[in-house]
Amino acid sequence: MVEPLLSTHGLIKRFGGLLATDNVSIEVRPGEIHALIGPNGAGKTTLVAQLTGMLAPDSGTIHFAGRDVTRLPTHARVRLGLARSFQITSVLREFTALDNVALAVQAHRGHSFRFLADARADRGLRDAARQGLEAVGLGGRADTLASALSHGEQRQLEIAMALAGDPRLLLLDEPMAGMGAEESQRMVELLRGLKAKRGMLLIEHDMDAVFALADRITVLVYGRAIATGTPAEIRAHPEVRQAYLGEEAA
């Protein structure tokens, strides 16, 4: 059995009376795309926030790359190789696409308490950033301000930023959100190309994309993981059909 890259055990998070994460235990293996699906309000975003360290769970543990990271701050988890993209596009709008990725590269090249040398003249940072942009198909947009990129391009830029540190796990929070069919298709291809080298936890509403990409799927309903399995198993799962997929079919 391969040791999982990321695993949670009995994760619980309450907001007042609401049980947003109810005893969730999931794992993502190296080289696998693990999709997390569930209706709105199922607690996907809350779970992601705990995985990244933005929220602390009330109980339970999170292990990443063989370490207990439950109490580790966000930036330290990123250093271990846990990168993410955001549900709502989150790029540095006042910076060029190249600057965005260069900063992401910089985050993984030692500390940044360097005050005098021009970071834009740093070949190491710029070349790596340029390669990162090309890898996601944004090579021609390097000098465009992030705010001037199209929505789909901004999402691609986010992926480039997440990939900059060569992370072991990519946490993708609805990467297809707000994309047209064509842009979604391009993103599916991009993600499929990345999967060999790293694990991915994919939160996504676009079921076509999920079933096209995922090796395994976990279904979250009211904070609880009601099922985990291959796409075929999930399709056939009676509780899932009733709680989630059934609603869509009806």
Residue numbers at the binding site for other proteins (CB under 8 A): 52, 54, 73-76, 78-79, 83-84, 86, 90-96, 99, 102-104, 106-108, 112-120, 122, 145, 161, 164-165
In the bound state with other proteins, the residue whose beta carbon lies nearer, of 54 and 236, is 54
**Shortest spacing between CB 144 and other proteins, in angstroms:** 10
Name the phi and psi angles at 192, rounded to 5: -60, -40
- Please, which residue, 20 or 101, has the CB nearer to other proteins? 101
Return phi, psi of residue 164, to 5°: -55, -40
- Residues pairing with 21 in the sheet: 13
How far apart are the C-alpha atoms of 55 and 34, rounded to whole Å?
Answer: 21
CA-to-CA distance for 15 and 174, rounded, in angstroms? Answer: 23
Least Å distance, CB 202 to other proteins, is 17
Strand partners, 85: 172
Query: Is 113 or 238 the residue whose CB approaches other proteins more closely?
Result: 113
CA–CA separation, 26 and 7 (whole Å): 6
Shorter beta-carbon distance to other proteins: residue 18 or 119 = 119
Given the complex with other proteins, which of 83 and 225 has the nearer CB atom?
83
Q: Which of 28, 22, 18 is nearest to 60 (CA)?
A: 22
Give the nearer residue to other proteins in terms of CB position, either 80 or 190: 80
For residue 165, the minimal CB distance to other proteins (Å) is 7
CA–CA gap between residue 233 and residue 219 (Å, rounded): 11
- Least distance from other proteins to the Cβ atom of residue 210, Å: 23
Which helix (H) or strand (E) is 50 found in, with range?
helix 44-52
CB of 98 to other proteins, least distance (A): 9
- Closest distance of CB 154 from other proteins, Å: 12
Inter-residue contact 15 to 47 (CB < 8 Å): no
